[in-house]
Amino acid sequence: MKNILLHICCGVCASYPIVKLREDGFNPVGFFYNPNIDSEEEYKRRLDVAYDVSGRLACDLIAGEYDLQAWREEVIGLENEPEGGARCVACFKMRLQMTYKKAIEMGGNYFTTTLTVSPHKNTVVINEIGSLISPEFFIPYDFKQNNGFKQAMDFAKQHSLYCQHYCGCEYSRKKK
């Protein structure tokens, strides 16, 4: 099996991608890196769910650094962008660049992201960003296919897992 570092945006969204990656011959290792989450309390809540899901699916999980200030600096000037606009692109890029860096530190693993499981995220944009960062190591996926999001939600319901109702950043929370 080929190793792949799976950027995890939240635990629930990781459930289907972990299973799918294994079906496709990969050995996924989770990487929870989300400096965009608007509070430490919400960050810890989502990280706890990621550990829960990883434990249930016997998948190793690495927690990246939580650095909200670095994320805010990354999106300066993009505060008024609409959801799905340039601010989100900058956020995706920041998280995928760190995932790539971690994959290289781990010996040149492939990498991908759970972000594409969400019906609210643009799969084409996310996969383009990953491919620009590293055409050699990024594996594009559309985890929405085969009812991936529904399967993730069913998994959450079956295991009574916390499901957030916004992407995580302070701007998306204000819109909700």
Per-residue model confidence as pLDDT tens digits over 155-174? 999 999 888 877 788 888 76
Calpha distance 149→47 (Å, rounded): 19
pLDDT at residue 108 above 60? Answer: yes
Calpha distance 87→75 (Å, rounded): 6
Mean pLDDT lowest among 24-38, 131-145, 154-168: 154-168
Please give the mean pLDDT across all residues of the chain.
94
- Picking from 141, 142, 135, 53, the residue whose alpha carbon sits closest to that of residue 100 is 135
Calpha distance 79→134 (Å, rounded): 28
Calpha distance 28→104 (Å, rounded): 15
Per-residue model confidence as pLDDT tens digits over 36-70? 999 999 999 999 999 999 999 999 999 999 999 99
